[in-house]
């Protein structure tokens, strides 16, 4: 399945036409339907129990505070989120960017209060067929949209998006899926702050805040342009936007 996903994305990136965007959408929708058929409730229930322990009882992960008191999640390879089980084969550290992006979006939409339970998010996403290759190949964006709608949020997805600055500033809270070259695919939550009214922004300057950009980040990344940030990329390789989910 990992090879099929990579072929799907590579084919789409070779041509950014609207038709190719639709093909990318249809491919993810097909994988999503297949993922639902593979859901094993008993196994998922046991993972939920273990993940709940990791989220609520720091004794299970020595020398860390609980996720639930931290607010936004940064750095998926940091403890304790790196210990979370993502589907049958994935881990928070290697494959958790999708659930973390969903968590951060919900936390922001809750007014930075009432942090959602990451273990419940992971369980619901698995139930909805989100985890490609049992979690090893990441999270399906179609399942993320399904889950956000199930909890009463308005969620829309666009594939191969352009003009990210305009789309994100209009939406306020978004989840961006992008490729960084090779097999690297990553989700981040991106929100728009007008006038620099948030920590880490310049006073009076509008900023885009990017959460869980790096695996070991301990805070968000602030930029005046997501389009420019994506074009710059990392180590000379630009990021290529694959999908943008707007959430309200």
Per-residue pLDDT tens digits for 167-182:
999 999 999 999 987 7
**Interval 51-79 mean pLDDT:** 66
Name residue 179's beta-bridge partners. Answer: 185, 240
Least trusted range by pLDDT, from 60-69, 88-97, 162-171: 60-69
Q: What does the domain layout of the chain look like in residue ranges? A: 2-247
One of 3.40.50.720, 2.20.25.10, 3.90.70.10, 3.30.920.30 is the CATH number of 2-247, namely: 3.90.70.10
Please state, rounded to an integer, the average pLDDT across all residues of the chain: 80
Sequence-ordered list of residues with C-beta below 8 angstroms from that of 186, at least 6 positions apart, any chain = 97, 177, 178, 180
Banded model confidence at residue 238, pLDDT cuts 50, 70, 90: very high
Burial (CB < 10 A; 0-12, 13-18, 19+), residue 168, is buried
User: Is the pLDDT score of 62 beyond 50?
Assistant: no
Of 68-82, 183-197, 222-236, the one with minimum mean pLDDT is: 68-82
Q: What's the pLDDT score for residue 117?
A: 87
Question: What pLDDT score was predicted for residue 38?
Answer: 61
- At 242 the pLDDT is 92
Helix, strand or coil, per DSSP, at residue 127: helix
Q: Which two tokens stand for residue 198?
A: 């948030």
Average pLDDT over residues 54-80: 64
Percent of the chain with pLDDT over 90: 39
Q: What is the pLDDT of residues 78-126, one digit of tens each?
A: 877 888 998 887 888 888 999 999 999 999 999 888 778 889 999 999 8
Over residues 15-32, mean pLDDT: 61
Q: What percent of the chain has pLDDT over 70?
A: 72
What are the two backbone dihedrals, phi and then psi, of residue 74, each rounded to the nearest 5 degrees? -130, 150
The pLDDT value recorded for residue 64 is 40
CB 240 within 8 Å of CB 101: no
- Decide if pLDDT at 218 tops 60: yes
Strands (E), the chain: 85-86, 90-91, 155-159, 173-179, 185-193, 207-211, 221-223, 240-247
| φ, ψ for residue 186, nearest 5 deg | -145, 145
């Amino acid at each position: 399945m990992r090879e099929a996903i990579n072929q799907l994305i590579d084919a789409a990136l070779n041509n950014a036409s609207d038709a190719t965007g639709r093909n990318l959408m249809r491919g993810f929708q097909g994988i999503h339907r297949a993922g639902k058929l593979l859901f094993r409730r008993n196994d998922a229930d046991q993972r939920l129990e273990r993940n709940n322990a990791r989220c609520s009882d720091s004794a299970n992960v020595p020398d860390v505070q609980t996720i639930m008191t931290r607010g936004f999640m940064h750095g998926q390879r940091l403890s304790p989120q790196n210990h979370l089980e993502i589907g049958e084969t994935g881990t928070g550290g290697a494959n958790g960017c999708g659930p973390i992006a969903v968590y951060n979006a919900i936390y922001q939409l809750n007014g930075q209060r009432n942090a959602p339970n990451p273990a419940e998010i992971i369980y619901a996403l698995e139930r909805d067929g989100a985890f490609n290759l049992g979690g090893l190949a990441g999270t399906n964006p179609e399942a993320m949209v399904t889950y956000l709608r199930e909890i009463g949020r308005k969620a829309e997805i666009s594939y191969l998006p352009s003009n990210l600055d305009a789309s994100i500033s209009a939406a306020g809270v978004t989840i961006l899926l992008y490729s960084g070259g090779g097999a690297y695919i990553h989700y981040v939550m991106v929100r728009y702050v007008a006038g620099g009214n948030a920590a880490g922004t310049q006073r009076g300057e509008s900023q885009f805040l990017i959460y869980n950009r790096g695996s070991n980040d301990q805070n968000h990344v602030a930029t005046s342009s997501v389009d420019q940030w994506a074009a710059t990329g990392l180590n000379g390789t630009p990021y290529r936007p694959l999908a943008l989910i707007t959430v309200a």
